[in-house]
Structure 1
Amino acid sequence: MSINENIREIEQKINEACNRSNRERKDINLVVVTKTIPVDIMSEAIELGLKDIGENKVQEITKKYETLGDSDLYWHMIGHLQTNKVKYIIDKVDLIHSLDRKSLAKELNKRAKKIDKVIDVLVQVNIAEEESKFGLKKENVMEFLKVLKEYPNIKVKGLMTMAPYDEDPQNIRYVFKEAKELFEEVKNQQLAHIEMEYLSMGMTNDFEVAIEEGANIIRVGTGIFGKRK
């Protein structure tokens, strides 16, 4: 199938998930995951109207930004971010999905301050407590958010989580449900330095269930570009 056909199929699934959960399509933000995808193939998706670009690696962002940076794109850093790599992307990305520790918050704040920027971030939560994944344990999120008051050049805009891979996404519905409950719990605290706007969860295999449970950012790569080589 072509990228165009794949996007149409993804759009149909998003619409169906919205219908099942009494939500509106306009409230769901589709981030195109372009990890390992060359710029010429990315450009095809961009020309078809997809403007939210999600990258896992700093070196891929810097390289692709050189070519596409002037385009009307919104760049998402969705992978684990090493503290020593922050300086390379702080002026390029619009939203970082993977804030998960104080040392990273400190560095983001320092680098953002240097260029007079307030960087938007999501706090990554490891709901399923998988050892292979990064993110805070659910019970540590509130305490971590309070610490972030010290960093005025960071703006928390919500939460991000990744569910374990399961061929039947119904088996991991609880992950999305718990993330949404935590999202609402934080929102109800009405902390001055926190804006609970985004809940980023759901990928190619499970985004429909994520939407049904409250995701408003989904991250889809394989579903658009096919399996990575």
Structure 2
Amino acid sequence: MSIQEHVNQVKANIAAAAQAAGRDPEEITLCAATKVQTDDTIRAAIAAGITVCGENRVQELTAHLAADAYRGAQVHFIGHLQTNKVKQVVGKVDLIHSVDSERLLRAIDAQAAKQDLVQDILLEVNIAGEESKGGCTPEEARQLAQLTRELEHVRLRGLMAIPPISPEPGANRPFFAAMRQLFVDIKANMGDNQCNMDCLSMGMSGDYPDAIAEGATLVRVGTALFGPRPPMHKG
């Protein structure tokens, strides 16, 4: 199948999952996870109708930006972000998905202040409490959300999560449901900032229909669009 056919199939699956949940398919954004993809593959995906690209690594983000590979699409940073790489990401992407600590949050705010801009962010929640994964606890997410109200150069747009990998269909629905409830609870306590919170980023190639059923507004899909990932580049 071509990239066009893969994009069409994933969009059809998103629409079917949304309709099954009584939702408008237009509420769900498809973010193409472009990790280790080439400039030409990214361009082909955008030509096929992808409007949001999600990058995992700062090095790849920088290279693709230099090649103007994302032209015609938004760019999100969806991978782990170290504080010493913040200056390479802030102002270069439309949304950072992976904010999981006060230190990182303040570093993003400080860099955005230097650039005189407001950086949109999501808080990454380790909803299953997995030791091997990044993300803050639900309680830490509540605290970080309140902190964003005091910072002038970040805007909290919502939450992101990566639940455990499971071969069992539907196994992650409880985690997705918990994220949806956390999103609702945090939004309700954001005062005037409630209107900014419109993004619940969860669900990937293996489980995005379940995430949509539980309220995801953005799904991050790589393998289902591009096939198995090629080996990681060294360096």
Residue 115 of structure 1 aligns with which residue? 115
Higher mean displacement: 136-145 or 178-187: 136-145
Task: Look up the match of 1:59.
Answer: 59
Offset at 1:91?
2.3
Q: Distance in 2 between matches of 1:191 and 1:80?
A: 29
Report Cα offsets for 1:108-133 as digits up to 9, x if no partner. Answer: 11110111110000001111011111
Per-residue CA deviation, residues 5-48 of structure 1 (Å, 9 max, x unaligned), is 11121112111101110011111000001000001111111111
2:219 corresponds in structure 1 to 218
Q: Deviations over 1:184-215 (max 9, x none)?
A: 11122133345221000000000000000000
The aligned length equals: 229
Distance 1:116 1:72 in 2: 24
| One-letter amino acid matched to 2:80 | H
Whether the 8 Å contact between 1:33 and 1:53 is mirrored in structure 2 is yes
Amino acid across the alignment from 1:82? Q
Give the structure 1 partner of residue 228 of structure 2. 227
2:29 aligned with 1:29, yes or no? yes
Contact 2:146 2:190 in 1 (8 A): no
Normalised to the residue count of structure 2, the TM-score between the two structures is 0.94
* Superimposed CA distance per residue, residues 45-67 of structure 1 (whole angstroms, 9 cap, x where no aligned partner): 11112120100011111100011
Distance 1:39 1:172 in 2: 33
Moved over 3 A (4+): none
TM-score, length-normalised on structure 1? Answer: 0.96
CA distance in 2, matches of 1:67, 1:207: 30
User: 1:29 and 1:93 mapped to 2: Cα distance?
Assistant: 16
Report the equivalent of 1:192.
192
Residues 1-229 of structure 1: pairs in structure 2 closer than 5 A: 1-68=1-68, 71-193=71-193, 195-229=196-230
Q: Is the 8 A contact 2:145 2:190 kept in 1?
A: no
In structure 1, distance between residues paired with 2:6 and 2:70: 26
- The letter for the 1-side match of 2:144 is F
Tell me, in whole angstroms, the C-alpha distance in 1 between the residues paired with 2:121 and 2:149: 13
Distance 2:103 2:55 in 1: 21
Distance in structure 2 (CA, Å) of the matches to 1:91 and 1:187: 25
1:69 CA displacement: 6.2
Partner SS, residue 123 of structure 2: strand
SS in 1 for 2:224: helix
RMSD: 1.3
| Residue 233 (structure 2) aligns with | none
What 5-or-longer segments of structure 1 have no aligned partner?
none
Residue aligned with 2:31, SS = strand
Contact 1:121 / 1:155 at 8 angstroms: preserved in 2? Answer: yes
Residue identity matched to 1:3: I
